[in-house]
Amino acid sequence: MEAKPVSQSRTTKAMLVLPPDSNALGTMFGGKVMSNIDDVASISAFRHARQQVVTASTDSVDFLRPITVGHMVCLESFVTWTHRTSMEVYVRVISEDLKTGERITCATSFLTFVAIDEHGRTREVPPVQPTTDFEKELHASAPDRFKRRMERKEHSRKLAEQYNSRKK
């Protein structure tokens, strides 16, 4: 398969943070942020693969600053790297004070998606062609994240097996 530039998967989503999106402190619920992260990341993965995708893992969601009611939140995502059937997606969450125009990165996240067909079988995906320095940096460091992800997944499997064997 021919490599696709990162720009083909780049996706942006913006929304105004309203009171129903917030907690008692007047900041956006973390779970609401996480839901939006998964949503925008899935669109990036689908755009890259041009086929249905499912979330395989959320490696991290690092909340760096709160997002205040009345601010705009903008999520930017793109596919950073691919394996045979999986895609790593990076998401950056930015808060913008609409009165001043100040924009601050409030969260970052890495997720993994797997391409599937209509029967739920995995499908191969094309490689990624990074172009900017930042895209190249993320692409070059992705194999290390992939290795850690596989180690974490194996650990999770073992924990689940231990728990299940104790339940019997």
Q: In whole angstroms, give the CA distance from residue 138 to residue 153.
A: 21
Q: In whole angstroms, give the CA distance from residue 107 to residue 42.
A: 17
Nearest to 42 by CA among 77, 17, 94: 77
Q: What residue type is 17 in one-letter code?
A: V
Fold of 4-167: Thiol Ester Dehydrase; Chain A (3.10.129)
**Rg for the chain, CA atoms, rounded:** 18
Q: In whole angstroms, give the CA distance from residue 41 to residue 43.
A: 5
Q: Where are the domains of the chain?
A: 4-167
Take residue 2 and report the two structure tokens written for it. 């021919």
Digitized pLDDT (tens) for each residue of the chain, 168 residues in all: 899 999 999 999 999 999 999 999 999 999 999 999 999 999 999 999 999 999 999 999 999 999 999 999 999 999 999 999 999 999 999 999 999 999 999 999 999 999 999 999 999 999 999 999 999 999 999 999 999 999 999 999 999 988 888 866
